[in-house]
Structure 1
Amino acid sequence: MTQVLVIAKEPLPGRVKTRLCPPCTAEQAARLAAAALEDTLRTVAATRTPRRVLALQGMPGPWLPRGFTVIPQRGAGLDERLAAAFTDAGRPHAMPTVLVGMDTPQLTAPLLEAARAALASHDAVYGPAADGGFWLLGLRRPDPALVLGVPMSQPHTGAAQLRRLREAGLSLAVLPELRDVDTFADACDVAASAPGTRFAATLTTVREALD
């Protein structure tokens, strides 16, 4: 059995997607973040995973579907929060875990199912992001040491994480590259690639307000 773990922030104005401002206002950026998070969670809900976990910084909102176990984030840097999320999601019994964030609303259920299936024959599965980071990390045997100390939110984050996995001697499956939503240009590109998402619809209303 392989569970899916989402790590996310409550989409509050001024605390999420601040790099979208300008041209977005803080409220518009938060609406886009909420849409991206809802798309992600609904995609996870559509998979056949036996357990869905949300490691949340903040409080749940109406964007949270049924069927998720919510755990609080803990730790200072992102590497600590990822390590803690892997650990806490495994209680009381550790199991193979696929982790994603809230920055890829174009994520699909088949991609997640491919990641879950990869852990049946690989120690780790990795989804590279276009900005040099990663959008997915799956571990057959979650171990905090595999992420602690990896420099996060840097152009070389992905390379550093891959090096950590390989130095640990893990067999690795690699998924297709996706683009994170960090900037407004990213948002436009991602919405164009996934026009049927809530994120794309929300971006349309935001762009109309900006015109």
Structure 2
Amino acid sequence: MADEPRIVIFAKAPVAGLAKTRLIPALGAQRAARLAAKMLNHAVEQALASEVGPVELCVTPAPQDPMWAGRLPRHAALTFSDQGDGDLGERMARAARRTLEAGRPVLLMGTDCPALTAERLRSASEALMTSDAVMIPATDGGYVLLGLRRFAVSLFHDIAWSTEHVAAATRDRLCALGWPLNEKAPLHDIDEPDDLRWLPTDWDGVSRV
């Protein structure tokens, strides 16, 4: 159904030395990459389990790149796309525009937040029925999910990505557009060594500091 949002999950290949590099001092390159792979698979599983609409994994490098060999999640209901060039804002803008122009709302998410569960995705989808935008902030000042019913390039252009200003800047841009925003309680991303304490307690085999 066209009113069902498409969940677009942004991910990079969980390769040692390239993935979760800020965790390497605490975990080492191999363990950081294993954690990245687990978070990627968890994000995909939660998105599919939410059953709010189709799920797309938008990756870098492109899905056919050898870097992804043996690393792409395999689910019949999952589709794949290439993030393409540009900064994070340009890549997210392309995915959002493509989905919205195809007639679907979009839920944009990453893979760094294990607390972004199927239940929370369903709640975000429901919020998008009555608001132009829904956001789940991250406790570090970014956001773990942005849902939109309409497109505006200003939401993605000239944002200081990977800083504590991302959510505030996005909130200000939505206000300037006059779009109603449904904002949820913030959740924890796993980016820095201190964040490892927020990993689910049942994630056996995932190292903590």
TM-score (norm 2): 0.89
State the 4+ residue runs in structure 1 displaced beyond 4 angstroms.
Answer: none
Structure 2 counterpart SS, 1:21: helix
Aligned to 1:27: 30
The Cα shift of 1:7 comes to 0.6
Compared CA separation, residues 106 and 141, structure 1 to 2 (3 A): same
Q: 1:98 to 1:77 in 2, by over 3 A?
A: same
Distance 1:35 1:65 in 2: 15
Question: What does residue 151 of structure 1 align with?
Answer: 160
1:7 is matched with which residue? Answer: 10
Task: State the alpha-carbon separation in 2 of the partners of residues 144 and 43 from structure 1.
Answer: 28
Residue 62 of structure 1: how far off its partner (Å): 4.6
Check whether the contact 1:97–1:142 (CA below 8 A) recurs between aligned residues. Answer: no
RMSD: 1.7
Provide the C-alpha distance between the structure 1 equivalents of 2:204 and 2:92, rounded to a whole number of angstroms: 30
Deviation at 1:22, TM superposition (A): 0.9
3-state SS of paired residue (2:26): coil
Q: For 1:1-211, what aligned pairs fall within 5 Å after superposition? A: 1-58=4-61, 59=63, 60=68, 61-90=71-100, 93-187=102-196, 189-191=197-199, 194-196=200-202, 200-203=203-206, 206-207=207-208
Task: Give the fraction of aligned pairs with identical amino acids, expressed as a percent.
Answer: 33
Instruction: Report how far residue 120 of structure 1 moved.
Output: 0.6
Where does the alignment leave 5 or more consecutive residues of structure 2 unmatched? none
Gapped regions of structure 1 (runs ≥ 5): none
TM-score after normalising by structure 1: 0.88
- For 2:47 and 2:151, the matched residues in 1 are separated by 19
Give the number of aligned pairs: 199
The one-letter code of the counterpart of 2:201 is P
Letter in 2 for 1:119: L
1:67-99 Cα distance to aligned partner (Å, 9 max, x none): 1111100232111111112123446x1311111
Question: What whole-Å deviation, never above 9, does each CA across 1:47-73 have from its counterpart, x for those lacking one?
Answer: 122311111113352534331111100
